[in-house]
A and B are shown apart, each in its own frame.
Chain A
Amino acid sequence: MALTEKVLMKGNEALAEAAIRAGCRHFFGYPITPQTEVAAYMAKQMPKIGGTYLQAESEVAAINMVYGAASAGVRAMTSSSSPGISLKSEGISYMAGADLPCLIINVQRGSPGLGGIQPSQADYWQATRAPGHGDLHVLVFAPSSIQEMVDMVFDAFDLADCYRVPAMILADGMLGQMMEPVVFPERTVKQYDKGSWATNGHQNQRAHNIVNSLYLQPDELESRILERFERYEQIKQKHTRSEEYLVDDADYIVVAYGATSRIVRSAVNTARDKGIKVGMIRPMTLWPFPAEPIEKAAGHAKAFLSVEMSMGQMVDDVRLAVNGKAPVGFFGRTGGVIPTPAEVLSEIEKMAGGDK
């Protein structure tokens, strides 16, 4: 495949191809719908380029293999869907605690429990609040197109390496399964010096590096966490991302991310045609959450609406950002049901209450 050729590709396959192009040579996974094509693509391609594809015996094993590979300083990743991410959560916490970079992909499906296999966004709380136990964050990207999935894979690996944190791409079954035209960017793979911490071979040329998340002295553990939170603060300052669509003159703002934002965009366009001054703010990173553009819009908007494929999770962050300056409503479908543009339009009309 030529680098700049526009090709039609499934989201899952595009994620995998992008990871390979971003220098990832170590993939550890376990099959689960609707993300299996990520693993299938890796299984096919990794042996051809001298990489490792390994189907582990479980999700728990897969994330701990990522821990091992990342400890050695290589770019490593795993992918799964909602129930599988829950199983990985212990390993994610350990990696955060050991300051290890990696990429975790969650192609969300309906849940809780085994749930279903259709698209969902009900893992927002898990991704942004408690991807594992403890005081920690993972960097969470929320793509809304196949092109963005590709671009964010590069960014996720780079930022994970730069700040030594796990990064996650929070997609959903729709984005994973759909095909769209995509161009793979000619990006050079950034090299980060991992010599000061990676436990790779050094032929006794330096002191041993130790990767660990166990610190029995509270003072020492606290200082480690404080240092990590300084890095989190830098990520917040420099890498919070969002898109604003028709926000400047908007009286009403819909907040939506991922696949849902595509549906909302259609509804916003129709509402504009009907004379309703509505816009959309689309978080592209969920942690850190783009509170600032929402807070700013609260200066002129009369009401906000969070639209999600869940019972209402991101709406909490929207409320925190709006901070009481305007009412914040919610509309969602869950369990694998995808909201229709007509449903969202009707919610926008309700929010506007005949106001044009």
Chain B
Amino acid sequence: MLSVLLAGFGGQGVLFAGKIMAYAGLIEEKYVSWLPSYGPEMRGGTANCSVCLSDEPIGSPLVLNPDVLVAMNLPSYDKFINQVAPGGIAVIDSSLISKRSDRTDIRCFYVPAAEKADTEGLSGLSNNILLGKALQEARFASFEAVEQAVAKCVPPKKQHLLEPNIRAIKLGMSL
């Protein structure tokens, strides 16, 4: 089983990126679960979501020690970096988080996602840039499955956002 924790400020799109991951798993016929934080932290503080992708039925959908952490703000980094399972990976938005982890038992990738999103005309899509990096490093699904997943997650009325979402993922994969 692969467990993922995506965390950031409410509005950065951690829940959406998590949903893409879960849908990609579904498309590849895996067992998947997606569990959001729904407490008061959603309203202005940090939001996070747990995603599990597995070949077996999933027990607890709550991820405490993720194999993959995607951290989109400093409070999330501080809260979760030491929770990452040994051997796991952390994808960190280095344009918003200046800290560097001294853990040697995990692989950390510092991606200036927010900055890249602005310069590449992908405003608001730093979530998917980080998702792309996570895909590249953790190989949680095939790119094709992720591409199909994005199509499932972008609402019919917002089809013009399909292309930039996928472009952001591709950009993240290349960083």
B88 at the interface (CB under 8 A from A): no
CB distance from A274 to the nearest CB of B (A): 16
* Minimum C-beta distance from A186 to chain B (A): 20
Chain A residues positioned under 8 Å from B59 (CB to CB): 262-267, 269, 341
Rounded to whole angstroms, the CA-CA distance of A180 and B32 in the bound complex is 6
A29 at the B interface (CB under 8 A): no
Counting CB contacts under 8 A, is A340 at the interface?
Answer: yes
**B44 near A: Cβ within 8 Å?**
no
In the complex, residue of chain B having the shortest beta-carbon distance to the beta carbon of A37: B38
A34 within 8 A of B: yes
The answer to whether A179 and B60 touch across the interface, beta carbons within 8 angstroms, is no
Residue A177 contacts which of B26, B36, B152 (CB distance < 8 angstroms)? B36
Kindly supply a per-residue 1/0 record for chain B positions 3-24, scoring 1 wherever the CB is within 8 Å of any chain A CB and 0 otherwise.
Answer: 0000000000000000100110
Q: Are B38 and A263 in contact (CB under 8 A)?
A: no
B110: min CB distance to chain A, Å: 30
For the complex, what is the distance from the CA of A117 to the CA of B58, rounded to whole Å?
A: 24
Residues of B within 8 A of A55 (CB): none
Across the interface, B58 reaches (CB within 8 A) one of A173, A174, A262, namely A262
B138 interfacial by beta-carbon distance below 8 Å: no
Known: A262-B59, A266-B60, A341-B59. A179 touches B34 (CB 8 A): yes
Q: Measured between C-beta atoms, what is the minimum distance from B12 to chain A in Å?
A: 19
Interface size on B, residues (CB 8 A): 20
- Known contacts A179-B19, A180-B33; decide if A173 and B26 are in contact (CB<8 Å): no
Which residue on chain B has the smallest CB distance to residue A176? B38
A33 pairs with B38, CB closer than 8 A: yes
Interface residues on chain A, number (Cβ under 8 Å): 23
Q: How far is the CA of A340 from the CA of B64 in the complex (A)?
A: 9
Instruction: Determine the chain B residues whose CB is within 8 A of the CB of A195 once the complex forms.
Output: none
A183 to B: closest C-beta gap in Å: 11
Known: A8-B19, A265-B57. 9 other contacts (CB 8 A): A6-B26, A34-B38, A174-B35, A174-B61, A179-B33, A180-B33, A180-B34, A262-B59, A266-B59
Write the residues of chain B forming the contact surface with A, with a CB cutoff of 8 angstroms. Answer: 19, 22-23, 26, 31-36, 38-39, 57-62, 64, 152
25 A-B pairs with C-beta separation under 8 A: A6-B26, A8-B22, A8-B26, A8-B34, A8-B152, A33-B38, A34-B38, A117-B39, A174-B62, A177-B36, A178-B34, A178-B36, A179-B19, A179-B33, A180-B32, A180-B58, A181-B32, A262-B59, A264-B59, A265-B57, A265-B59, A266-B59, A266-B60, A338-B62, A341-B59
